[in-house]
Amino acid sequence: MKKIIDLFCGVGGLSYGFKKNNYKVAAAVDHWEDALRTYKYNFPDVEIFNQDIKDFNENHLKKIIKKNKKIDGVIGGPPCQGFSSVGTRTVDDKRNHLYLEFYNTVKNVDPNFFIIENVSGFLNLSNGIFINDIIKRFGKKGLGYKINYKLINSSLYGVPQNRKRVFIIGVKNKEFKFPIEYKKIVSSFEAISDLNFKLNSKKGNGVYKYTLEPKSIYQKYMRKNSEKITNHENTNHEDQTIQVISKIKDGGTIHDLDRKYWEIRKYNKTFQRMNSKLPSLTIDTGHRNYFHYKANRIPTVRECARLQSFPDKFVFKGSKTSQYKQVGNAVPPLLSELLAKNI
């Protein structure tokens, strides 16, 4: 069985896809307590290192290699806030240089392949200084990998969400070929319409029985080996907020409202509904930028997880706010599964 190390693992979106392709996760590294609680619950057999990546050193790697003999791949998504269009986007942001810790791990482990995932801003910040440095360090004049990278929209690979992220993949002795894009998209309706959208505001644990039959192949796949719906807790909006949301039609925007609402927040995507006939908007860490295509509320954590392609059996831990952030930070498992299959 091939083995990988998942750096900046979060809840394990990348890990999940590789495990589906019969990889063993030899180690997962992060220092976000809630995300690691979620990771541990869903991957109980994986050795977890709860520490800053800068403290994950050669001694740790030697022990992992001694235990596993050979590490075939290193995967991960270094924190992206410094590259994000809603972040500071400055070259001096310390978070922008965490990919160097990723580089040090790859250098010490010498795996057959590596995968780096990040936001689209990674490619163009400071005229491409970071992507050029990665090619220099990891490429044929550096560690010897054949590198291919692509800005991917997850909706073109079976994920019901418009999510654009950069994947940089290096393989020894061959060039990685990205999967062929799908011809058919999965809509928001096809993704979540079997989940109860009228939720009991007094039911606080977010656990429900399935009461509706699956309406799509995607829903059947998400429900596989799951006996209940978890993380499906309602958000109690004020009556005035519900009234405002109700004025926005399926797929509508802030422009469905009176002009007085247009400048309430600085992001023009605020007060926007999912379009039931299209993939959802990007599932982010803020979770309050858009609403359910039918219900007058923001989507639940479970609905967001579905739109990220996490199966229903995958349970999220921590506060509801933390769960939203965990989902929004993750790599869609379905996309990870396709990438792993092509290594």
User: Closest by alpha carbon to 334, among 171, 191, 148?
Assistant: 191
Check 53, 75, 80, 191 and give the catalytic one.
80
Concatenated DSSP letters of 304-319? HHHHTT--TT----S-
Helix residue ranges, H only, 170-319: 188-192, 217-223, 239-246, 301-307
Instruction: For residue 132, give the amino acid letter.
Output: N
Q: Which two tokens stand for residue 83?
A: 């590259």
Q: How is residue 103 written in tokens? A: 């580089």
CA atoms within 13 A on the CB side of 108: 17
Q: What sign has the CA pseudo-torsion 225, 210, 285, 189?
A: positive
Closest of 161, 50, 61, 171 to residue 116, by C-alpha: 171
Residue 56 to residues 38, 48, 101, Cα–Cα distance (Å): 21, 11, 9
Q: How far apart are CA 247 and CA 259, in angstroms?
A: 13
The Cα-based distances of 333 to 70, 86, 142, 158, 233 in angstroms read 24, 24, 30, 11, 22
How far apart are the two ends of the chain, measured CA to CA in Å? 14
* Residue environment code for 182-203, b if the CB has 16+ CB neighbours within 10 A, otherwise e: eeebbbbbbbbbbbbbebeeee
CA 72 to the chain's CA centroid: 22
Tokens coding 94: 């310390």
Is 146:173 a contact under the CB 8 Å cutoff?
yes
Active site residue 9: no
Which positions are annotated as active-site residues? 80
